[in-house]
Homo-oligomer: A and B are copies of this chain.
Amino acid sequence: MSKPFAPRRSVEQVEEGTELAPKFDERGLIPVVTTDFETGELLMHGYMNAEALERTIETGEAHYFSRSRKALWHKGATSGFVQKVRELLVDDDQDCIWLRVDVAGGASCHVGYRSCFYRRVPLGGAEAPAELEFTDTEKVFDPTDVYGDAPNPTKL
């Protein structure tokens, strides 16, 4: 496949035009917001490099760039929780991608929850540090069953 990306020539072309001209940052990455097509729930936030974006467009399955493994990451290749892309959108200045997906198996979070966003920060700021409230307490799967002893991607 030839490259699906146009060069970025002007603000008008990028904001108002019909050419896909994504901006990758100094690391070669573009942030990706992934929501559930049916419910609108935010499932995860990740990154793509140019190859991951090309593969996603080509195959209709979400590919990311894993910053912890420094490698192309076909989401679900290990866990089986493949994300089928129903809609792929780009923002005004084309430095962010929005994937609206269906998830096989219904989970997107390596900790075992349906969504990576299972804790709420109370507003008002009375406490220090803020005490998080769980919005979901039921894991969809047990990470040790799915990932075995693969290293946890979370970095401190």
Using a CB–CB cutoff of 8 Å, the interface residues on chain A facing chain B are 1-6, 8-11, 14-21, 23, 31, 33, 35, 39-42, 44-45, 54, 57-58, 60, 85, 87-93, 96, 98, 109-111, 113, 116-121, 123-125, 127-135, 152-156
Cβ A58 vs Cβ B125 within 8 A: yes
> Can you name 12 A-B residue pairings with CB atoms under 8 Å?
A3-B128, A5-B129, A5-B130, A10-B156, A11-B152, A20-B129, A58-B125, A88-B121, A88-B123, A90-B119, A91-B117, A92-B116
Decide yes or no: A129 and B19 within 8 Å by CB, A58-B124, A156-B8, A156-B10 being known contacts: yes
Q: Which residue in B19, B41, B111, B135 is a CB contact (below 8 Å) of A15?
A: B111
Q: Which residue in B10, B45, B135 is a CB contact (below 8 Å) of A31?
A: B45
Decide yes or no: A125 and B85 within 8 Å by CB, A42-B98, A92-B118 being known contacts: no
Decide yes or no: A93 and B1 within 8 Å by CB, A88-B120, A131-B19 being known contacts: no
